[in-house]
Amino acid sequence: MPAHTLATVTPAEDQVLQQLLQGLNNRSIAAALVLSPRTVENHISRLLAKTGCQSRTQLLLWALAER
């Protein structure tokens, strides 16, 4: 599992991560946070890069382990 901590996650990325943990897709996250779907995709891409995760599932497992 990646070694990064939640301290490296921005507040905006954390909001997206919280929505992912609730099982929402990009479009639903965008609507809930009043963002464009592309912005949500960008946040998720940055989260994947920061954590070294290869998939959304791995990212969710990382987030659960960090909490």
For residue 40, the model assigns a pLDDT of 99
> Whole domain around residue 47: which residue ranges?
7-66
**Within-domain flag for 24:** yes
- Give the residue from 24, 8, 9 showing the smallest Cα distance to 56: 24
**Within-domain flag for 1:** no
For residue 51, the model assigns a pLDDT of 92
CATH number (domain holding residue 14)? 1.10.10.10
**Within-domain flag for 35:** yes
Structural domain count, the chain: 1
Q: What is the mean pLDDT of residues 28-33?
A: 98
pLDDT band per the 50, 70, 90 thresholds, residue 28 = very high
Q: Under a CB-based contact definition with an 8 Å cutoff, are residues 64 and 50 in contact?
A: no
pTM of the model: 0.88
Q: pLDDT for 3-13, tens place per residue?
A: 556 678 999 99
Annotate 21-39 with b (16+ C-beta within 10 A) or e (fewer). Answer: eeebebeebbeebebeeeb
**Within-domain flag for 2:** no
Question: Residues 27, 64, 6, 49: what is their CA dihedral angle, to the nearest 10 degrees?
Answer: -60
pLDDT band per the 50, 70, 90 thresholds, residue 66 = confident
**Within-domain flag for 11:** yes
Q: Under a CB-based contact definition with an 8 Å cutoff, are residues 24 and 64 in contact?
A: no
**Within-domain flag for 59:** yes
